[in-house]
Amino acid sequence: MRVRWNHSKLLLFWLTVLAVLAFEAEARKRVRIGLHKNPEPIEDNIKNELKTLSIKHKLKVDDTKATTKTDTKDPGSKVATLKNLYNTEYYTTLGFGNPPQDLKVLIDTGSANLWVLSSKCPDSVAPCANRIKYNSSASTTYRAINTEFNIAYGSNSEEGPIALSGFQSQDTVNFAGYSIENQIFAEITNAPETAFLKSQLDGILGLGFASIAINSITPPFYNLMAQGLVNRSVFSIYLNRNGTNAINGGELILEGSDSGLYSGCLTYVPVSNAGYWQFTMTSANLNGFQFCENCEAILDVGTSLIVVPEQVLDTINQILRVLNPTASNGVFLVDCSSIGDLPDIVFTIARRKFPLKSSDYVLRYGNTCVSGFTSMNGNSLLILGEIFLGAYYTTHDIVYKLIGLAPAIH
């Protein structure tokens, strides 16, 4: 009996060792790319963002149903570490060409194109001055395409739309340890002075559906799947809301999710219109004011705040007792000393409640406190930006068109 027991213990020991080694091997497969934070004050950063907030969320509404199920940790997932710009922008680093040229790109689930500033954009163009720019002549894998590329960003101000222009190119793009061959992207050569004035970014990585890509360019995540570099059509996003930490701003996880970053189980809701990560929200309630009933909402990590219809914003501002209710720039301030007295807002998705505390939806920088709510001309949807996504871990399945949500662990 003792011999048999010793053999059993020995077998258990080696099985444990093998399990640990296997887990460590899977963990080593993860490739992390850093996210950075903007040293500019929150208020200035948001003002600039609202000037360039895209009028991209204009899809029609479809009726859908939602489901809930439990997910587990996905071994072998690839991780791109994010960096946080004072809780208003999250970006990662991509390598363009051979040898790789590292450029900082905003991750944006509300668009589907990849574009970067071009070396052909002169320093006399303000957004291109003193920036790191992609130089095609320094890459051995570059291929010229030269098709024109134009993208227009709308505005909630009177300044009108902001247009960026350039041309398409093709090169190898290194993304979270993967080398995507023959990726088409845009080189921006012209942009107005106000574009990205307070930002450190060199470009944008769109993670939306291919159906909204300008010029029908295949987005990078689709090419990851087409080239067999990933086996699953899922990516997930975890945002670190510590706005003073410029290194660990969160994670963009490819091929699945990490249950160590969220609590409970994921609530799944189907995409109601495959372009943006749009879904049907059951309700939204702030201190008894219900401003959504089976309304359409969009998850957008490229937007800092929660964007509500214009007619809703006035009531929200009254409830939050904003200090500048007539502000025309879309940035509303609240009394920092009153944050603890402000009510929770509760979103109901797939029959599950997703609350935000006032400490979640008020951005604080020193003695300045900014409301997490704004509006945009002509917008009838709820756009849940980083204010919401900082509190909730999200998964995105491009093939099965599913969104998963669970409380993030910080």
298 near 57, Cβ under 8 Å?
yes
Q: Which of 33, 68, 399 is nearest to 231 (CA)?
A: 399
Catalytic residue of the set 71, 74, 171, 300: 300
Catalytic residue of the set 108, 171, 202, 258: 108
Catalytic residue list contains 360: no
Peptide bond into 407 cis (omega under 30): no
Cα 25 from chain centroid (whole Å)? 28
Q: Which helix (H) or strand (E) holds 294?
A: strand 289-299
Cα-based distances in Å from 41 to 284, 365, 386, 395: 30, 7, 17, 30
Cα 186 from chain centroid (whole Å)? 20
Q: From CA 70, how far away is CA 72, in angstroms rounded? A: 7
Q: Which of 72, 111, 115, 77 is nearest to 96 (CA)?
A: 115
- 3-class secondary structure, 302: coil
Residue with tokens 């996905």, as numbered in its chain:
74
Q: From CA 207, how far away is CA 57, in angstroms rounded? A: 14
Q: From CA 79, how far away is CA 260, in angstroms rounded? A: 13
Length of the chain: 410
Catalytic residue list contains 123: no
- 3-class secondary structure, 145: strand
Q: From CA 125, how far away is CA 129, in angstroms rounded? A: 7
Catalytic residues: 108, 300
